[in-house]
Amino acid sequence: MKEEIRQIWCEEDQMFYPETKTENGRTYRLDPETFVYLEELSLGLTEEEEELMSNPIGYYGRAWRRFMEENYPEEIPSLKGRLKWELIPRQIDKEAEEMAWNMEQQYARNNPRPTTFLEIEKWEKMKRLEVNHRVMEDVVLQHRG
């Protein structure tokens, strides 16, 4: 099955232009404002890395960056040059959130949730403290690069 080529209408020229074109093995995308073809540059990311890059850096990723800035500042330029400064915090967010969710489930199984407001408040606070401490120690505050 042949892929449909999307066309963009140019009012000035009164004609359609293909959105993308390939010449000499390079792909170019039409800028709809200027009607100039610009080369699409690939960062060489895997599908998983591209998916990670589509998400903002979250709480745990920002905490890892602070940890690296305070403890390993000399390594940051190298990480930035290889796009790891952007990828690693997003991967940490993903790992940390999965671990936190699993730990919260485990905590609830091992410590039944109380029924009164004050006991629930205490229970939730303790769960949050224990989970956050373990996630920070095991996932976030680790040298990566």
Give the pLDDT confidence of 35-65 residue by residue, as tens digits. Answer: 888 776 556 678 888 888 889 999 999 999 9
Quick check: is 145 in a domain? Answer: no
Domain that holds residue 15: 7-39
Dihedral sign from CA coordinates of 58, 60, 61, 65: positive
Do residues 100 and 131 both lie within one domain?
Answer: yes
Residue 11 phi/psi, 5° resolution? -65, -40
**Total domains in the fold of the chain:** 2
Q: Would you say residue 45 lies in a domain? A: no
pLDDT tens track for 123-138: 999 999 999 999 999 9
Shared domain for 104 and 131, answered yes or no, is yes
Whether residues 97 and 62 share a domain: the answer is yes
Nearest to 86 by CA among 58, 119, 105: 58
Q: Is residue 1 part of a domain?
A: no
Q: Is the pTM of this model over 0.85?
A: no
> For residue range 60-101, what is the model confidence (pLDDT) as tens digits?
999 999 999 999 999 999 998 888 999 999 999 999 999 999
Residues 121 and 72 in one domain: yes
How far from each other are the two terminal CA atoms of the chain, in whole angstroms? 43
